[in-house]
Amino acid sequence: MISTGNRLTNCVQFAFGRIQLGFLNTVWYLCVMRNPEATKERILSKSGVLFNTNGYKATPISHITDATGFTKGAIYRHFENKDELERQTLAYLSQVLFGKLRKVIKAQDTAPAKLRAVFGFFESYITKPPLEGGCPLLNAAIEADDAHAALRQEAVKTLTVIRQSVVAILENGMAHGQIKPTVDKDFYATLIIASLEGGIMMSKLHGNNDDIRRIVQHLTQQVNEISLQVDT
């Protein structure tokens, strides 16, 4: 049986703990609010998880205020409106994606190996997604219609960067005698990106990685056919 003294001690400790937590939260909030870059980074990071997981239009601003701990007014001091927040969030997610993808590509020495690394990177979206919620390009593209021009334009930018990365790998491989010089690099870049994104969509719908795995196997065969050297 707990004595009255113990109850009082527990109550005091609990109250003191709550005061400390409240004080620390207040200090954190003031520090972040005084650092515009940190504030914006937190908003984009939290919004990225929500948008990429639940959808851009399905995520109300109230969910973002809850996730960030900021008021609606504080958020809109950094973004003109929700459309602009969505656009900049996709740009933020894309930069995170590009950073992870660059590391995977740079870890390989030859063009064929770099291409296979790209395939493996996209295949991992089903079992070990590099970003919570899956592929930001695919998720944004589903909602990026003419009624949401800003989001659509940002999605096109993301697609262009990924496609140019594949083109650059092919060009470098051709220049170093690793890829056949007659290869239509633009065609293969389109084939690779369209196949990977389509495979991710189908696997996501089916709830397994069977479709994306088949796509990766086919693309690997394609790379072997256009390569002047087949490495492993």
The model's pLDDT over 121-175, given as tens digits with 9 standing for 90+, comes to: 999 888 888 888 888 998 998 888 777 889 999 999 999 999 999 999 999 999 9
Over residues 63-73, the mean pLDDT reads: 94
Coil, helix or strand for 141?
helix
Asked whether residue 188 carries a pLDDT value surpassing 60, the answer given is yes
Q: Boundaries of CATH 1.10.10.60 in the chain?
A: 8-79
Assign 99 a pLDDT band (cuts: 50, 70, 90): very high
Distance CA 58, CA 68 (A): 17
Assign 20 a pLDDT band (cuts: 50, 70, 90): low
Asked whether residue 230 carries a pLDDT value surpassing 90, the answer given is no
Q: Spell out a b/e string for 94-125, using b for 16 or more CB atoms within 10 Å of the CB, else e.
A: beebeeebeeebeebebbbbbbbbbbebbbeb
Confirm whether pTM is higher than 0.85.
no
The tokens describing 187, both together, are 């065609």
Distance CA 144, CA 190 (A): 20
For residue 12, the model assigns a pLDDT of: 41
CATH architecture of 8-79: Orthogonal Bundle (1.10)
The tokens describing 111, both together, are 């063009």
Which has more pLDDT, 169 or 32?
A: 169
Distance CA 102, CA 96 (A): 10
Backbone angles phi, psi at 179, to 5 degrees: -120, 140
Domain 82-232: give its CATH code.
Answer: 1.10.357.10
Which has more pLDDT, 164 or 230?
A: 164
Asked whether residue 7 carries a pLDDT value surpassing 60, the answer given is no
CA end-to-end distance (rounded Å), the chain:
70
For residue 211, the model assigns a pLDDT of: 95
Number of Cβ atoms within 10 Å of the Cβ of 73: 8
Taking a C-beta distance cutoff of 8 angstroms, is the pair 221, 116 a contact? no
Q: Boundaries of CATH 1.10.357.10 in the chain?
A: 82-232
Asked whether residue 23 carries a pLDDT value surpassing 70, the answer given is no
Residue entry with tokens 């919620």: 133
For residue 225, the model assigns a pLDDT of: 95
For residue 3, the model assigns a pLDDT of: 53
Asked whether residue 190 carries a pLDDT value surpassing 60, the answer given is yes
Average pLDDT of the chain to the nearest whole number? 86
For residue 126, the model assigns a pLDDT of: 82
